[in-house]
Amino acid sequence: MMGGADKIVARSRELYAAGEYRLATELLNKLVYAQPANQAARNLLADAFEQMGYQKESSSLRNSFLAAALELRSRIPNGLMPQSVSPDPVRAMTTELWLDYLGILLDSHEAGGLAFKINLMTPDNGEQHVLELSHATPTNIQGYQAKDADLTITINRADLEPIMMRKATFSTQMAAGRASLQGNPQVLQQLLARPGDFDQYFENMPGTKAVVAAPSSP
């Protein structure tokens, strides 16, 4: 069977015709990684992935196979990022989970050397949290307030939700009288000014991301 790409593709076509999709993908996956520009191999691998996706009961597995098939045939779609933030999911998200999310966004390389504690109180639902940044890692505890906090933020949970949806900021909520800060406000800016850059258009398969041409020299 081995001895060149044509033989591998020919054998894979036989396996595909026989319904042996997993075996076909084992061969074609290696070929596509070795020759990302081989469109015949890419198309056949996409066909095999598609059939495997159709057979999966798990939506996560099905979506992974179908997404890989799409990439192999037409590369990763370009365009605006989907906007997934909407009021209902944000209202369902706990404050603790949102603070965890801020920790995920934080660029640890940019946060090196920073250390502070922030108390967060939401009087309308009686919650208290403390957020601590140490060793470029933020952690938070619900139901606790630090006595040596650098900053204490008081804001109703209902007024925090626009901030969670990025429709408002702590500054705008303070200006509207919906939030108060006691202590050093710079630590909040240090936290919010260092978000990581997450590219949702990452490759599942090699050579599927659109290449942006470098600007020509004047």
Per DSSP, the residues of 76-139 read SPPSPPP----HHHHHHS-HHHHHHHHHHHB-TTTTTT--EEEEEEETTTTEEEEEEEETTEEE
At residue 80, the pLDDT reads 57
CATH of domain 87-192: 3.30.1050.10
Identify residue 214 by its one-letter amino acid code.
A
5-34 average pLDDT score: 95
Tokens of 131: 């957020």
CA 26 to chain centre: 28
169 within 8 A of 155, measured Cβ to Cβ: no
Q: Indicate whether this model's pTM tops 0.75.
A: no
Which residue type does 173 have? Q
Which residue reads 């000014």 in tokens? Answer: 193
What Cα–Cα distance (Å) separates residue 26 from each residue in 75, 106, 167? 21, 38, 47
Average pLDDT (5-11) is: 95
Q: What is the mean pLDDT of residues 47-69?
A: 94
**pLDDT value, residue 82:** 57
Q: Taking CA 64 as the corner, what is the angle to CA 39 and CA 18, rounded to the nearest 5 degrees?
A: 60
Separation of alpha carbons 126 and 128, rounded Å: 7
Higher pLDDT, 15 or 78: 15
* Choice among 22-36, 148-162, 188-202 with the minimum mean pLDDT: 188-202
Task: Considering the chain, tell me which residue range(s) the CATH 1.25.40.880 domain(s) occupy.
Answer: 5-74
Q: Closest by alpha carbon to 127, among 157, 151, 150, 153?
A: 157
Q: Are 53 and 65 in contact (CB under 8 A)?
A: yes
- Per the prediction, the chain carries an average pLDDT of 87
- Both tokens assigned to 4: 């060149």
Could you give the percent of the chain with pLDDT greater than 70? 85
**Token pair belonging to 18:** 């026989």
CATH 3.30.1050.10 residue spans of the chain: 87-192
- Both tokens of 201, joined, read 């258009």
Tell me: pLDDT of 181 over 70. Answer: yes
Residues contacting residue 71 through CB under 8 Å, at least 6 positions apart: 203, 204, 205, 208
| CA dist., res. 9 & res. 44, Å (int) | 8
114 vs 207, residue with greater confidence:
114
CATH superfamily of 5-74: Alkyl sulfatase, dimerisation domain (1.25.40.880)
